[in-house]
A = this chain, B = another copy of it.
């Protein structure tokens, strides 16, 4: 089973990497960009028997820093 975990900074948390990319896009001449935020995309291949609870536990314990980050678990159809 393929699982994608989207980890993004919570609103209000400063994102220096996003600001740098925003600034670089402006510098390259792209207009109309209002905001850029950068997160992580974790793609995992796990056994079909893996439970939702186990996936949530992985996120809470290791994959996301829940103090400053949100995560979303997406199961990808095989």
Q: Are B46 and A42 in contact (CB under 8 A)?
A: no
A21-B62, A25-B58, A61-B28 given; A6·B41 CB < 8 A: yes
Residues of B within 8 A of A36 (CB): 42-45
Interface band, chain A: 20 to 34
- Give chain A's interface residues, CB within 8 Å of chain B: 6-8, 21, 24-25, 28, 30-47, 49-50, 54, 57-58, 61-63
Q: List 26 A-B contacts (CB under 8 A).
A: A8-B41, A8-B43, A21-B42, A21-B62, A21-B63, A25-B58, A28-B61, A28-B62, A30-B54, A30-B57, A30-B58, A31-B47, A32-B49, A33-B45, A33-B47, A33-B50, A34-B44, A34-B45, A34-B46, A36-B42, A36-B43, A36-B44, A38-B41, A38-B42, A38-B43, A40-B41
